Structure 1
Amino acid sequence: MAKKLRVGILFGGRSGEHEVSLLSAASILKAIDRKKYDVVPIGITKEGRWLGAGDAHGLLEGQESAAGRKLRAGDPETTPGAKLLHEGMPTLLAPVPVSASSTGELKRRLSDQASAIDVVFPVLHGTFGEDGTIQGLFELAGIAYVGSGVLGSSAGMDKDVMKRLFAQAGLPIVKHVTVLRSQWEGSPRKTIAQIEAALKYPLFVKPANLGSSVGISKAHNRRELGPALDEAAKYDRKLVVEQGVVGKKSGARELEVAVLGNDEPKASVVGEIIPGKEFYDYEAKYLSEGSVPVIPAKLTGAESKKIREMAIAAFRACDLAGLARVDFLMEPDGKRRIYINEVNTLPGFTQISMYPKLWEASGIKYTDLITRLIELALERQGEKQRNVYSRD
Structure 2
Amino acid sequence: MKINLFVLYGGKSVEHEVSLKTALTVLGSVDQSKFDVYPVYITREGQWRCAGLQEQPPAGMENLVPKREDAAPGQASESIGNVLLRYFSVEGKKAALPLLHGSNGEDGTVQGLLELLDIPYVGNGVLGAALTLDKDVSKRLLEQAGIRQTRYISFGLGEWLEQGPALMERVQRELGLPCYVKPATLGSSIGISRCENVRQLSEGIEEAFRYDRRLVVEREIPGREIQVAVMGNDRPIASMPGEFIHRHRFFDFESKYMDKELVMSIPAELPEGVTARIRGTALRAYRALCCSGLARVDFFLDAEGELYLNEINALPGFTGTSMYPVMWERTDGTTYSELIEKLIDYAFMRHAEKETIRYTR
Per the TM superposition, whether the score is higher than 0.5 is yes
From the superposition, tell whether residues 23 and 228 of structure 1 become closer, same or farther in structure 2 (CA, over 3 Å): same
CA distance in 2, matches of 1:19, 1:167: 33
Structural mapping, 1:206-245, within 5 Å: 206-245=182-221
Partner SS, residue 241 of structure 2: strand
Deviation of 1:179 after TM superposition, in Å, equals 1.1
Task: Render the CA deviation track for 1:19-68: whole Å, top value 9, x for unaligned.
Answer: 010010000011111111111100001111111127x99xx98xxxxxxx
**Hey, what does 1:36 align to over in structure 2?**
34
Task: Render the CA deviation track for 1:208-242: whole Å, top value 9, x for unaligned.
Answer: 00001110110011121000001111111111000
Q: Could you tell me whether the CA contact under 8 Å between 1:148 and 1:345 is conserved in 2?
A: yes
Deviation of 1:186 after TM superposition, in Å, equals 2.9
Task: Render the CA deviation track for 1:278-328: whole Å, top value 9, x for unaligned.
Answer: 221111011233332211101023000000001111110001000000000
Q: 2:256 aligned with 1:285, yes or no?
A: yes
- Residue number among 341, 344, 352 corresponding to 1:382 in the alignment: 352
**Hey, what does 1:353 align to over in structure 2?**
322
Deviation of 1:96 after TM superposition, in Å, equals 5.0
Q: 2:345 aligned with 1:369, yes or no?
A: no
**Hey, what does 2:20 align to over in structure 1?**
22
Q: Which amino acid counterpart does residue 358 of structure 2 have in structure 1?
A: V
From the superposition, tell whether residues 198 and 119 of structure 1 become closer, same or farther in structure 2 (CA, over 3 Å): same
Deviation of 1:110 after TM superposition, in Å, equals 9.3
CA distance in 2, matches of 1:346, 1:134: 13
CA distance in 2, matches of 1:202, 1:92: 48
Q: CA RMSD in A?
A: 2.9
Q: Could you tell me whether the CA contact under 8 Å between 2:180 and 2:195 is conserved in 1?
A: yes
Task: Render the CA deviation track for 1:339-386: whole Å, top value 9, x for unaligned.
Answer: 001100111110000100100111211110000000100111101111
Aligned pair count reads 357
**Hey, what does 1:74 align to over in structure 2?**
none
Q: Which amino acid counterpart does residue 361 of structure 1 have in structure 2?
A: R
Q: Could you tell me whether the CA contact under 8 Å between 1:94 and 1:109 is conserved in 2?
A: no
CA distance in 2, matches of 1:111, 1:95: 18
Q: Could you tell me whether the CA contact under 8 Å between 2:2 and 2:93 is conserved in 1?
A: no
Q: 2:277 aligned with 1:306, yes or no?
A: yes
Deviation of 1:82 after TM superposition, in Å, equals 4.1
TM normalised by structure 2 equals 0.91
From the superposition, tell whether residues 386 and 93 of structure 1 become closer, same or farther in structure 2 (CA, over 3 Å): farther
Partner SS, residue 227 of structure 1: helix
CA distance in 2, matches of 1:372, 1:390: 33
Deviation of 1:276 after TM superposition, in Å, equals 3.8
Deviation of 1:277 after TM superposition, in Å, equals 2.2
From the superposition, tell whether residues 85 and 46 of structure 1 become closer, same or farther in structure 2 (CA, over 3 Å): closer
Q: Could you tell me whether the CA contact under 8 Å between 1:132 and 1:153 is conserved in 2?
A: yes
**Hey, what does 1:343 align to over in structure 2?**
312
From the superposition, tell whether residues 83 and 35 of structure 1 become closer, same or farther in structure 2 (CA, over 3 Å): farther
CA distance in 2, matches of 1:112, 1:176: 44
CA distance in 1, matches of 2:9, 2:177: 38
CA distance in 2, matches of 1:317, 1:110: 39
- Residue number among 107, 110, 118 corresponding to 2:94 in the alignment: 118
Partner SS, residue 202 of structure 2: helix
Partner SS, residue 129 of structure 1: coil
Deviation of 1:194 after TM superposition, in Å, equals 1.9
- Structure 1 alignment gaps of length 5 or more: 62-77, 247-251
- Residue number among 42, 45, 65 corresponding to 2:43 in the alignment: 45
Deviation of 1:197 after TM superposition, in Å, equals 2.2
From the superposition, tell whether residues 218 and 376 of structure 1 become closer, same or farther in structure 2 (CA, over 3 Å): same
Task: Render the CA deviation track for 1:98-126: whole Å, top value 9, x for unaligned.
Answer: 49xx99x7998599637566100000000
Partner SS, residue 282 of structure 2: helix
Q: Could you tell me whether the CA contact under 8 Å between 2:20 and 2:61 is conserved in 1?
A: no
Q: Which amino acid counterpart does residue 189 of structure 1 have in structure 2?
A: P
Q: Could you tell me whether the CA contact under 8 Å between 1:10 and 1:42 is conserved in 2?
A: yes
Q: Could you tell me whether the CA contact under 8 Å between 1:95 and 1:109 is conserved in 2?
A: no
Q: Identity of counterpart residues, as a percentage? A: 42
Structural mapping, 1:50-69, within 5 Å: 50-53=48-51
Structural mapping, 1:158-169, within 5 Å: 158-169=134-145
Partner SS, residue 145 of structure 1: coil
Q: Which amino acid counterpart does residue 255 of structure 1 have in structure 2?
A: I
Deviation of 1:191 after TM superposition, in Å, equals 1.5
Deviation of 1:168 after TM superposition, in Å, equals 1.2
